[in-house]
Structure 1
Amino acid sequence: MRGTPVVGITGYHVLGEEGVGGKFRGLAGQGFSVIGHDYINAVSQAGGIPIGIPVGDPATARSIIKRLDGLVLAGGEDMDPTLYGAHPDGRCGTIRPERDLFELQLLGEALALNKPILAICRGMQLLNVFFGGTLYLDIADYSDQVLSHQFSRAPRWYLAHRVQLLSPLLQRLYQADEIRTNSYHHQAVHELGEGLQVAAVAEDGIVEGLLHPDHPQLLAVQWHPEMLSVKHEEGLIPFHWLLEQIRSEGGCSA
Protein backbone atom coordinates (compact mmCIF):
# COMPACT_ATOMS: atom_id res chain seq x y z
CA MET A 1 0.00 0.00 0.00
CA ARG A 2 1.37 3.40 -0.96
CA GLY A 3 1.89 5.91 1.82
CA THR A 4 1.55 9.67 1.96
CA PRO A 5 4.04 11.56 -0.25
CA VAL A 6 6.86 13.32 1.57
CA VAL A 7 7.66 16.75 0.13
CA GLY A 8 10.81 18.69 1.01
CA ILE A 9 10.56 22.49 1.22
CA THR A 10 13.52 24.86 1.13
CA GLY A 11 13.54 28.05 3.19
CA TYR A 12 15.31 31.16 4.40
CA HIS A 13 18.86 30.89 5.74
CA VAL A 14 19.09 33.37 8.61
CA LEU A 15 22.60 34.09 9.88
CA GLY A 16 23.49 34.24 13.54
CA GLU A 17 23.90 38.00 13.64
CA GLU A 18 20.38 38.39 12.22
CA GLY A 19 18.76 36.20 14.85
CA VAL A 20 19.65 38.13 18.00
CA GLY A 21 16.49 39.07 19.90
CA GLY A 22 13.75 40.72 17.84
CA LYS A 23 11.81 38.64 15.37
CA PHE A 24 13.64 35.35 15.91
CA ARG A 25 14.15 35.65 19.68
CA GLY A 26 17.62 34.16 19.30
CA LEU A 27 20.92 34.47 21.10
CA ALA A 28 24.16 35.91 19.76
CA GLY A 29 25.58 33.71 17.01
CA GLN A 30 22.44 31.58 16.74
CA GLY A 31 21.13 31.19 13.18
CA PHE A 32 17.82 29.82 11.91
CA SER A 33 16.40 27.85 9.02
CA VAL A 34 12.92 29.24 8.37
CA ILE A 35 10.15 27.49 6.44
CA GLY A 36 7.01 29.53 5.78
CA HIS A 37 3.81 28.13 7.29
CA ASP A 38 1.95 28.85 4.04
CA TYR A 39 4.17 26.33 2.20
CA ILE A 40 3.72 23.79 4.98
CA ASN A 41 -0.05 24.22 5.02
CA ALA A 42 -0.39 24.11 1.22
CA VAL A 43 1.54 20.83 0.96
CA SER A 44 -0.54 19.38 3.80
CA GLN A 45 -3.83 20.49 2.27
CA ALA A 46 -2.83 18.99 -1.06
CA GLY A 47 -2.26 15.64 0.64
CA GLY A 48 1.47 15.53 1.34
CA ILE A 49 3.75 15.47 4.37
CA PRO A 50 5.84 18.67 4.44
CA ILE A 51 9.48 18.43 5.53
CA GLY A 52 11.70 21.49 5.90
CA ILE A 53 15.17 21.33 4.33
CA PRO A 54 17.73 23.50 6.13
CA VAL A 55 20.66 24.82 4.12
CA GLY A 56 23.55 22.40 4.43
CA ASP A 57 26.53 20.89 2.69
CA PRO A 58 25.83 20.54 -1.07
CA ALA A 59 27.51 17.13 -0.89
CA THR A 60 24.50 15.87 1.11
CA ALA A 61 21.95 16.93 -1.52
CA ARG A 62 21.69 13.54 -3.25
CA SER A 63 21.07 11.71 0.01
CA ILE A 64 18.37 14.22 0.93
CA ILE A 65 16.60 14.01 -2.43
CA LYS A 66 16.64 10.20 -2.36
CA ARG A 67 14.59 10.35 0.85
CA LEU A 68 11.96 12.68 -0.61
CA ASP A 69 9.11 12.11 -3.03
CA GLY A 70 8.98 15.69 -4.25
CA LEU A 71 10.62 19.09 -3.83
CA VAL A 72 9.36 22.65 -3.39
CA LEU A 73 11.96 25.33 -4.14
CA ALA A 74 10.57 28.21 -2.13
CA GLY A 75 10.85 31.98 -2.35
CA GLY A 76 13.32 34.09 -0.42
CA GLU A 77 16.48 36.12 -0.84
CA ASP A 78 17.97 37.38 -4.10
CA MET A 79 20.30 35.01 -5.92
CA ASP A 80 23.99 35.87 -6.06
CA PRO A 81 24.35 37.80 -9.36
CA THR A 82 27.84 36.38 -9.95
CA LEU A 83 26.18 33.00 -10.60
CA TYR A 84 24.77 34.39 -13.85
CA GLY A 85 27.59 36.69 -14.87
CA ALA A 86 26.33 39.92 -13.31
CA HIS A 87 27.67 42.17 -10.58
CA PRO A 88 25.76 42.99 -7.38
CA ASP A 89 24.81 46.62 -6.81
CA GLY A 90 22.49 48.68 -4.66
CA ARG A 91 19.41 47.21 -6.30
CA CYS A 92 20.13 43.78 -4.83
CA GLY A 93 18.51 42.67 -1.62
CA THR A 94 19.93 40.13 0.81
CA ILE A 95 22.19 37.53 -0.83
CA ARG A 96 22.90 34.12 0.72
CA PRO A 97 25.49 32.35 -1.49
CA GLU A 98 25.45 29.25 0.72
CA ARG A 99 21.73 28.83 0.09
CA ASP A 100 22.21 29.30 -3.67
CA LEU A 101 24.89 26.62 -3.93
CA PHE A 102 22.97 24.16 -1.78
CA GLU A 103 19.68 24.60 -3.64
CA LEU A 104 21.33 24.43 -7.06
CA GLN A 105 22.71 21.05 -6.01
CA LEU A 106 19.32 19.94 -4.66
CA LEU A 107 17.72 20.90 -7.97
CA GLY A 108 20.33 19.04 -9.99
CA GLU A 109 19.89 15.87 -7.95
CA ALA A 110 16.09 16.10 -8.10
CA LEU A 111 16.21 16.42 -11.89
CA ALA A 112 18.67 13.53 -12.17
CA LEU A 113 16.41 11.31 -10.04
CA ASN A 114 13.20 12.46 -11.80
CA LYS A 115 11.67 13.78 -8.59
CA PRO A 116 8.68 16.11 -9.13
CA ILE A 117 9.62 19.74 -8.50
CA LEU A 118 7.54 22.85 -7.87
CA ALA A 119 9.65 26.04 -8.06
CA ILE A 120 8.13 29.23 -6.65
CA CYS A 121 9.33 32.85 -7.06
CA ARG A 122 13.04 32.70 -6.15
CA GLY A 123 12.79 29.00 -6.93
CA MET A 124 11.83 29.80 -10.52
CA GLN A 125 14.71 32.26 -10.82
CA LEU A 126 17.12 29.65 -9.42
CA LEU A 127 15.80 27.18 -11.99
CA ASN A 128 16.49 29.62 -14.82
CA VAL A 129 20.04 30.22 -13.58
CA PHE A 130 20.60 26.45 -13.21
CA PHE A 131 19.93 26.04 -16.93
CA GLY A 132 22.28 28.90 -17.83
CA GLY A 133 19.81 31.78 -17.91
CA THR A 134 20.11 35.25 -16.41
CA LEU A 135 17.99 37.57 -14.27
CA TYR A 136 17.16 41.25 -14.25
CA LEU A 137 18.87 42.67 -11.15
CA ASP A 138 15.69 44.72 -10.86
CA ILE A 139 12.64 44.57 -13.07
CA ALA A 140 12.93 48.32 -13.69
CA ASP A 141 15.66 47.28 -16.15
CA TYR A 142 13.02 45.46 -18.20
CA SER A 143 10.96 48.50 -19.15
CA ASP A 144 9.89 51.88 -17.85
CA GLN A 145 6.32 50.58 -18.28
CA VAL A 146 6.80 47.58 -16.01
CA LEU A 147 4.22 46.98 -13.30
CA SER A 148 5.02 46.95 -9.60
CA HIS A 149 5.71 43.28 -8.91
CA GLN A 150 6.71 43.72 -5.28
CA PHE A 151 3.28 44.69 -4.05
CA SER A 152 3.36 44.54 -0.24
CA ARG A 153 0.70 47.07 0.70
CA ALA A 154 -2.10 44.51 0.75
CA PRO A 155 -2.75 41.05 2.21
CA ARG A 156 -0.40 38.36 0.86
CA TRP A 157 -3.29 36.77 -1.05
CA TYR A 158 -4.19 40.01 -2.86
CA LEU A 159 -4.60 39.56 -6.63
CA ALA A 160 -2.23 42.25 -7.90
CA HIS A 161 -2.11 41.69 -11.66
CA ARG A 162 -3.14 39.44 -14.54
CA VAL A 163 -1.08 36.55 -15.87
CA GLN A 164 -1.59 35.04 -19.32
CA LEU A 165 -1.22 31.26 -19.33
CA LEU A 166 0.62 30.18 -22.48
CA SER A 167 1.16 26.47 -21.86
CA PRO A 168 -1.53 23.80 -22.32
CA LEU A 169 -0.53 22.40 -18.92
CA LEU A 170 -1.33 25.59 -17.02
CA GLN A 171 -4.44 26.20 -19.10
CA ARG A 172 -5.65 22.72 -18.19
CA LEU A 173 -4.80 23.07 -14.51
CA TYR A 174 -6.53 26.44 -14.16
CA GLN A 175 -9.24 25.88 -16.78
CA ALA A 176 -8.46 29.36 -18.08
CA ASP A 177 -6.19 31.29 -20.43
CA GLU A 178 -5.69 34.11 -17.93
CA ILE A 179 -5.65 34.35 -14.14
CA ARG A 180 -4.92 36.98 -11.51
CA THR A 181 -2.07 36.45 -9.06
CA ASN A 182 -0.29 38.04 -6.14
CA SER A 183 3.22 39.42 -6.70
CA TYR A 184 6.26 39.69 -4.41
CA HIS A 185 9.45 39.95 -6.45
CA HIS A 186 11.73 42.71 -7.71
CA GLN A 187 13.88 40.46 -9.92
CA ALA A 188 12.75 38.38 -12.89
CA VAL A 189 13.86 36.08 -15.69
CA HIS A 190 15.90 37.90 -18.35
CA GLU A 191 17.66 35.53 -20.76
CA LEU A 192 15.95 32.16 -20.76
CA GLY A 193 17.90 29.12 -19.61
CA GLU A 194 18.71 26.40 -22.14
CA GLY A 195 15.72 24.20 -22.96
CA LEU A 196 13.27 26.13 -20.82
CA GLN A 197 9.96 27.32 -22.23
CA VAL A 198 7.92 30.32 -21.08
CA ALA A 199 4.63 29.01 -19.71
CA ALA A 200 3.09 32.27 -18.47
CA VAL A 201 3.64 36.03 -18.69
CA ALA A 202 2.33 39.01 -16.75
CA GLU A 203 0.36 41.67 -18.57
CA ASP A 204 3.56 43.74 -18.87
CA GLY A 205 5.50 40.83 -20.40
CA ILE A 206 7.46 39.72 -17.31
CA VAL A 207 7.93 35.92 -17.31
CA GLU A 208 5.65 34.29 -14.73
CA GLY A 209 5.96 30.58 -15.50
CA LEU A 210 8.52 28.11 -16.86
CA LEU A 211 8.47 24.51 -18.08
CA HIS A 212 11.10 22.20 -19.55
CA PRO A 213 9.97 19.66 -22.19
CA ASP A 214 12.69 17.21 -21.12
CA HIS A 215 11.51 17.37 -17.50
CA PRO A 216 7.71 17.08 -17.43
CA GLN A 217 7.85 16.60 -13.65
CA LEU A 218 8.94 20.25 -13.29
CA LEU A 219 6.73 23.34 -12.91
CA ALA A 220 7.89 26.86 -12.02
CA VAL A 221 5.76 29.93 -11.25
CA GLN A 222 6.81 33.45 -10.29
CA TRP A 223 3.79 34.20 -8.09
CA HIS A 224 3.15 32.74 -4.61
CA PRO A 225 0.38 30.13 -4.78
CA GLU A 226 1.01 29.09 -1.17
CA MET A 227 0.02 32.60 -0.03
CA LEU A 228 -2.96 32.69 -2.37
CA SER A 229 -4.22 29.42 -0.89
CA VAL A 230 -4.92 31.23 2.40
CA LYS A 231 -7.88 32.94 0.71
CA HIS A 232 -8.26 31.44 -2.77
CA GLU A 233 -8.78 27.74 -3.46
CA GLU A 234 -6.88 27.98 -6.75
CA GLY A 235 -3.73 28.67 -4.77
CA LEU A 236 -3.55 24.93 -4.11
CA ILE A 237 -3.57 24.03 -7.82
CA PRO A 238 0.23 23.83 -8.23
CA PHE A 239 0.49 21.78 -5.04
CA HIS A 240 -2.18 19.34 -6.21
CA TRP A 241 -0.22 19.07 -9.47
CA LEU A 242 2.95 18.26 -7.50
CA LEU A 243 1.22 15.52 -5.50
CA GLU A 244 -0.35 14.08 -8.66
CA GLN A 245 3.08 13.93 -10.27
CA ILE A 246 4.48 12.09 -7.28
CA ARG A 247 1.69 9.53 -7.31
CA SER A 248 1.97 9.01 -11.07
CA GLU A 249 5.70 8.37 -10.60
CA GLY A 250 4.80 5.74 -7.99
CA GLY A 251 6.88 7.40 -5.30
CA CYS A 252 5.74 7.59 -1.69
CA SER A 253 8.14 7.27 1.21
CA ALA A 254 5.74 7.20 4.14
Structure 2
Amino acid sequence: MGKKPLIGITGYHVRGEEGYGGSFRGLPGQGFSIVGHDYIRAVERTGGVAVGVPVGRQKDCRTILEGLDGLVLSGGEDIDPSLYGERPDMRCWQLTPERDWFELALIEEAIHLRKPVLAICRGMQLFNIHFGGTLYKDVADVRVETLTHQFNRAPRWYLAHRVKLLHPILTDLYGKAEIDTNSYHHQVIKEPGEGLFVSATAEDGVVEGLYHPDHPNILAVQWHPETMAVEYEEGLLPFRWLIEQVKGEGGKKDEK
Protein backbone atom coordinates (compact mmCIF):
# COMPACT_ATOMS: atom_id res chain seq x y z
CA MET A 1 0.00 0.00 0.00
CA GLY A 2 1.19 3.48 -0.84
CA LYS A 3 1.35 6.45 1.46
CA LYS A 4 -2.03 7.97 2.24
CA PRO A 5 -2.45 11.57 1.01
CA LEU A 6 -2.17 14.23 3.71
CA ILE A 7 -5.11 16.62 3.30
CA GLY A 8 -5.19 19.94 5.14
CA ILE A 9 -8.57 21.31 6.22
CA THR A 10 -9.16 24.92 7.24
CA GLY A 11 -11.71 25.62 9.97
CA TYR A 12 -13.50 28.16 12.11
CA HIS A 13 -11.39 30.84 13.76
CA VAL A 14 -12.91 31.65 17.16
CA ARG A 15 -11.38 34.63 18.95
CA GLY A 16 -10.90 34.61 22.70
CA GLU A 17 -13.24 37.63 22.97
CA GLU A 18 -16.12 35.48 21.75
CA GLY A 19 -16.34 33.67 25.08
CA TYR A 20 -15.66 30.19 26.35
CA GLY A 21 -17.45 27.21 27.83
CA GLY A 22 -20.43 25.46 26.29
CA SER A 23 -19.32 23.66 23.16
CA PHE A 24 -15.91 25.36 23.40
CA ARG A 25 -13.92 24.11 26.36
CA GLY A 26 -11.10 26.01 27.97
CA LEU A 27 -10.32 29.14 29.93
CA PRO A 28 -11.45 32.78 29.69
CA GLY A 29 -9.68 34.61 26.87
CA GLN A 30 -8.72 31.54 24.91
CA GLY A 31 -9.44 31.30 21.20
CA PHE A 32 -10.01 28.13 19.20
CA SER A 33 -9.38 26.71 15.75
CA ILE A 34 -12.14 24.24 14.95
CA VAL A 35 -12.39 21.70 12.11
CA GLY A 36 -15.75 20.02 11.59
CA HIS A 37 -15.87 16.25 11.96
CA ASP A 38 -17.81 15.88 8.70
CA TYR A 39 -14.82 17.21 6.73
CA ILE A 40 -12.45 14.90 8.60
CA ARG A 41 -14.63 11.83 8.05
CA ALA A 42 -15.10 12.60 4.34
CA VAL A 43 -11.34 12.81 3.83
CA GLU A 44 -10.79 9.59 5.77
CA ARG A 45 -13.56 7.72 3.93
CA THR A 46 -11.98 8.58 0.57
CA GLY A 47 -8.49 7.40 1.52
CA GLY A 48 -6.82 10.51 2.92
CA VAL A 49 -5.46 11.58 6.29
CA ALA A 50 -7.02 14.78 7.60
CA VAL A 51 -4.91 17.52 9.19
CA GLY A 52 -6.39 20.70 10.65
CA VAL A 53 -4.90 23.96 9.38
CA PRO A 54 -5.41 26.70 12.01
CA VAL A 55 -5.17 30.38 11.12
CA GLY A 56 -1.51 31.30 11.43
CA ARG A 57 1.04 33.61 9.84
CA GLN A 58 0.60 34.32 6.15
CA LYS A 59 4.35 34.05 5.60
CA ASP A 60 4.19 30.40 6.73
CA CYS A 61 1.59 29.35 4.16
CA ARG A 62 4.15 28.03 1.69
CA THR A 63 5.73 25.84 4.37
CA ILE A 64 2.29 24.53 5.32
CA LEU A 65 1.38 23.71 1.72
CA GLU A 66 4.74 22.05 1.07
CA GLY A 67 3.90 19.58 3.83
CA LEU A 68 0.44 18.79 2.46
CA ASP A 69 -0.71 16.81 -0.56
CA GLY A 70 -4.02 18.63 -0.92
CA LEU A 71 -6.21 21.24 0.72
CA VAL A 72 -9.86 21.63 1.67
CA LEU A 73 -11.03 25.22 2.08
CA SER A 74 -14.02 24.77 4.36
CA GLY A 75 -17.16 26.79 5.00
CA GLY A 76 -17.66 29.14 7.91
CA GLU A 77 -17.93 32.82 8.68
CA ASP A 78 -18.83 35.61 6.27
CA ILE A 79 -16.06 37.11 4.16
CA ASP A 80 -15.10 40.70 4.91
CA PRO A 81 -16.79 42.90 2.26
CA SER A 82 -13.77 45.21 2.19
CA LEU A 83 -12.00 42.45 0.23
CA TYR A 84 -14.32 43.07 -2.71
CA GLY A 85 -14.63 46.85 -2.46
CA GLU A 86 -17.63 47.20 -0.14
CA ARG A 87 -18.30 47.92 3.53
CA PRO A 88 -19.95 45.67 6.12
CA ASP A 89 -23.51 46.39 7.17
CA MET A 90 -26.31 44.66 9.08
CA ARG A 91 -26.61 42.01 6.37
CA CYS A 92 -23.21 40.66 7.40
CA TRP A 93 -22.89 37.94 10.01
CA GLN A 94 -19.68 37.03 11.86
CA LEU A 95 -16.52 38.40 10.20
CA THR A 96 -13.02 36.97 10.77
CA PRO A 97 -10.63 39.05 8.65
CA GLU A 98 -7.63 37.16 10.08
CA ARG A 99 -8.99 33.98 8.54
CA ASP A 100 -9.72 35.73 5.24
CA TRP A 101 -6.15 37.01 4.89
CA PHE A 102 -4.61 33.70 5.89
CA GLU A 103 -6.72 31.61 3.53
CA LEU A 104 -6.16 33.98 0.63
CA ALA A 105 -2.44 33.44 1.20
CA LEU A 106 -3.07 29.67 1.26
CA ILE A 107 -4.85 29.91 -2.09
CA GLU A 108 -1.94 31.88 -3.55
CA GLU A 109 0.60 29.31 -2.41
CA ALA A 110 -1.56 26.33 -3.42
CA ILE A 111 -1.77 27.75 -6.95
CA HIS A 112 1.97 28.44 -7.01
CA LEU A 113 2.78 24.92 -5.79
CA ARG A 114 0.05 23.33 -7.95
CA LYS A 115 -1.56 21.63 -4.99
CA PRO A 116 -5.07 20.24 -5.53
CA VAL A 117 -7.78 22.22 -3.71
CA LEU A 118 -11.40 21.49 -2.88
CA ALA A 119 -13.06 24.84 -2.09
CA ILE A 120 -16.42 24.48 -0.32
CA CYS A 121 -19.01 27.25 0.29
CA ARG A 122 -17.00 30.08 1.88
CA GLY A 123 -13.94 28.48 0.26
CA MET A 124 -15.47 28.93 -3.19
CA GLN A 125 -16.34 32.55 -2.41
CA LEU A 126 -12.79 33.24 -1.27
CA PHE A 127 -11.47 31.52 -4.42
CA ASN A 128 -13.59 33.99 -6.40
CA ILE A 129 -12.24 36.97 -4.46
CA HIS A 130 -8.66 35.81 -5.05
CA PHE A 131 -9.26 36.36 -8.78
CA GLY A 132 -10.89 39.75 -8.27
CA GLY A 133 -14.52 38.62 -8.11
CA THR A 134 -17.27 40.06 -5.92
CA LEU A 135 -20.08 38.81 -3.67
CA TYR A 136 -23.59 39.77 -2.74
CA LYS A 137 -23.58 40.34 1.01
CA ASP A 138 -26.90 38.50 1.21
CA VAL A 139 -28.83 36.29 -1.19
CA ALA A 140 -31.82 38.63 -0.87
CA ASP A 141 -29.78 41.22 -2.82
CA VAL A 142 -29.81 39.03 -5.94
CA ARG A 143 -33.50 39.22 -6.73
CA VAL A 144 -36.84 38.58 -5.03
CA GLU A 145 -37.36 35.17 -6.63
CA THR A 146 -34.35 33.44 -5.08
CA LEU A 147 -34.64 30.18 -3.19
CA THR A 148 -33.90 29.83 0.51
CA HIS A 149 -30.17 29.13 0.41
CA GLN A 150 -29.62 29.26 4.16
CA PHE A 151 -31.87 26.31 4.96
CA ASN A 152 -31.13 25.19 8.51
CA ARG A 153 -34.53 23.84 9.55
CA ALA A 154 -33.68 20.28 8.58
CA PRO A 155 -30.76 17.84 9.03
CA ARG A 156 -27.48 19.11 7.61
CA TRP A 157 -27.65 16.54 4.81
CA TYR A 158 -31.14 17.63 3.70
CA LEU A 159 -31.42 18.19 -0.07
CA ALA A 160 -32.81 21.72 -0.34
CA HIS A 161 -32.73 22.35 -4.11
CA ARG A 162 -31.40 21.17 -7.46
CA VAL A 163 -28.19 22.33 -9.08
CA LYS A 164 -27.46 22.36 -12.81
CA LEU A 165 -23.92 21.19 -13.64
CA LEU A 166 -22.50 23.19 -16.55
CA HIS A 167 -18.90 22.03 -16.91
CA PRO A 168 -17.25 18.62 -17.46
CA ILE A 169 -15.32 18.98 -14.18
CA LEU A 170 -18.69 18.40 -12.49
CA THR A 171 -20.74 16.49 -15.08
CA ASP A 172 -17.95 13.92 -15.46
CA LEU A 173 -17.60 13.68 -11.69
CA TYR A 174 -21.30 13.12 -11.02
CA GLY A 175 -22.17 11.42 -14.29
CA LYS A 176 -25.22 13.62 -14.87
CA ALA A 177 -26.25 17.19 -15.60
CA GLU A 178 -28.27 17.90 -12.44
CA ILE A 179 -27.94 16.97 -8.78
CA ASP A 180 -29.78 17.69 -5.54
CA THR A 181 -27.78 19.48 -2.85
CA ASN A 182 -28.07 20.90 0.62
CA SER A 183 -27.72 24.67 1.09
CA TYR A 184 -26.16 26.64 3.96
CA HIS A 185 -25.01 30.05 2.73
CA HIS A 186 -26.37 33.57 2.57
CA GLN A 187 -23.49 35.28 0.77
CA VAL A 188 -23.60 34.69 -2.98
CA ILE A 189 -21.26 35.07 -5.96
CA LYS A 190 -21.95 38.36 -7.77
CA GLU A 191 -19.28 38.80 -10.45
CA PRO A 192 -16.92 35.88 -11.17
CA GLY A 193 -13.26 36.78 -10.91
CA GLU A 194 -10.90 37.13 -13.86
CA GLY A 195 -10.64 33.90 -15.83
CA LEU A 196 -13.34 32.12 -13.83
CA PHE A 197 -16.31 30.38 -15.43
CA VAL A 198 -19.56 29.38 -13.75
CA SER A 199 -19.60 25.58 -13.54
CA ALA A 200 -22.94 25.16 -11.73
CA THR A 201 -26.08 27.12 -10.88
CA ALA A 202 -29.08 26.59 -8.64
CA GLU A 203 -32.61 26.54 -10.04
CA ASP A 204 -32.86 30.29 -9.39
CA GLY A 205 -29.61 31.10 -11.22
CA VAL A 206 -27.46 31.57 -8.09
CA VAL A 207 -23.87 30.48 -8.78
CA GLU A 208 -23.10 27.10 -7.20
CA GLY A 209 -19.75 26.29 -8.81
CA LEU A 210 -16.69 28.01 -10.30
CA TYR A 211 -13.91 26.78 -12.56
CA HIS A 212 -10.65 28.25 -13.83
CA PRO A 213 -9.28 26.56 -16.98
CA ASP A 214 -5.70 27.42 -15.99
CA HIS A 215 -6.16 25.67 -12.64
CA PRO A 216 -8.06 22.42 -13.30
CA ASN A 217 -6.87 20.96 -10.00
CA ILE A 218 -9.15 23.34 -8.06
CA LEU A 219 -12.77 22.28 -7.58
CA ALA A 220 -15.04 25.02 -6.15
CA VAL A 221 -18.64 24.32 -5.09
CA GLN A 222 -21.16 26.26 -3.03
CA TRP A 223 -22.95 23.32 -1.39
CA HIS A 224 -21.59 21.18 1.46
CA PRO A 225 -20.71 17.69 0.17
CA GLU A 226 -19.12 16.74 3.49
CA THR A 227 -22.43 16.99 5.34
CA MET A 228 -24.36 15.40 2.47
CA ALA A 229 -21.98 12.43 2.81
CA VAL A 230 -23.41 11.73 6.27
CA GLU A 231 -26.51 10.36 4.51
CA TYR A 232 -25.62 10.10 0.81
CA GLU A 233 -22.58 8.38 -0.69
CA GLU A 234 -22.68 10.93 -3.53
CA GLY A 235 -21.45 13.56 -1.08
CA LEU A 236 -18.04 11.87 -1.11
CA LEU A 237 -17.48 12.44 -4.85
CA PRO A 238 -15.71 15.84 -4.53
CA PHE A 239 -13.41 14.33 -1.89
CA ARG A 240 -12.68 11.35 -4.12
CA TRP A 241 -11.87 13.85 -6.87
CA LEU A 242 -9.39 15.56 -4.52
CA ILE A 243 -7.66 12.31 -3.61
CA GLU A 244 -7.46 11.31 -7.29
CA GLN A 245 -5.89 14.68 -8.12
CA VAL A 246 -3.30 14.16 -5.39
CA LYS A 247 -2.45 10.70 -6.71
CA GLY A 248 -2.20 12.04 -10.26
CA GLU A 249 -5.17 10.00 -11.49
CA GLY A 250 -7.21 13.11 -12.25
CA GLY A 251 -4.50 14.42 -14.55
CA LYS A 252 -4.35 11.10 -16.39
CA LYS A 253 -8.11 11.25 -16.98
CA ASP A 254 -7.86 14.82 -18.28
CA GLU A 255 -5.25 13.76 -20.86
CA LYS A 256 -7.58 11.19 -22.47
TM range, smaller chain: over 0.9
Question: Higher relative CO (CA 8 A, sep ≥ 6), structure 1 or 2?
Answer: 1
Letter in 1 for 2:73: L
Q: Given the two structures, how large is their TM-score scaled by the length of structure 1?
A: 0.97
Which position in structure 1 is the counterpart of 2:196?
Answer: 196
- Residues 16-25 or 32-41, more deviating: 16-25
Q: Say how many residue pairs are matched.
A: 250
CA distance in 2, matches of 1:21, 1:44: 29
CA distance in 2, matches of 1:31, 1:42: 26
Partner secondary structure for residue 7 of structure 2: strand
Pairing 1:227-246 to 2, within 5 Å after superposition = 227-246=227-246
CA distance in 2, matches of 1:115, 1:64: 11
Tell whether 2:61 aligns with 1:61: yes
Partner secondary structure for residue 23 of structure 2: helix
Tell whether 2:140 aligns with 1:148: no
Cα deviation per residue 1:17-54 (whole Å; 9 max; x = unaligned)? 22422221221111100000000000000100000000
Cα deviation per residue 1:49-102 (whole Å; 9 max; x = unaligned)? 000000001010000000000000000000010010011000000000000000
**Contact 1:125/1:189 (8 A) holds in 2:** yes
Which position in structure 2 is the counterpart of 1:97?
Answer: 97
CA distance in 1, matches of 2:104, 2:112: 12
Tell whether 2:175 aligns with 1:182: no
Which position in structure 2 is the counterpart of 1:75?
Answer: 75
Deviation at 1:107, TM superposition (A): 0.6
Which position in structure 1 is the counterpart of 2:223?
Answer: 223
CA distance in 2, matches of 1:169, 1:133: 21
CA distance in 2, matches of 1:224, 1:33: 20
Unaligned runs of 5+ in 1: none
CA distance in 1, matches of 2:19, 2:7: 27
Letter in 2 for 1:88: P
Identity %: 64
Q: How large is the RMSD of aligned CA atoms in angstroms?
A: 1.1
Q: Which runs of structure 1 show a deviation greater than 4 angstroms over 4 or more consecutive aligned residues?
A: none
Which position in structure 1 is the counterpart of 2:18?
Answer: 18
Which position in structure 2 is the counterpart of 1:131?
Answer: 131
Tell whether 2:11 aligns with 1:7: no
CA distance in 2, matches of 1:56, 1:16: 15
Cα deviation per residue 1:153-184 (whole Å; 9 max; x = unaligned)? 00000000000000012111111110000000
Cα deviation per residue 1:102-160 (whole Å; 9 max; x = unaligned)? 00000100000000000000000000000000000001110000010000000000000
Tell whether 2:116 aligns with 1:122: no
Deviation at 1:2, TM superposition (A): 3.8
Partner secondary structure for residue 248 of structure 2: helix
Partner secondary structure for residue 243 of structure 2: helix
Partner secondary structure for residue 68 of structure 2: coil
Q: Given the two structures, how large is their TM-score scaled by the length of structure 2?
A: 0.96
Letter in 1 for 2:43: V
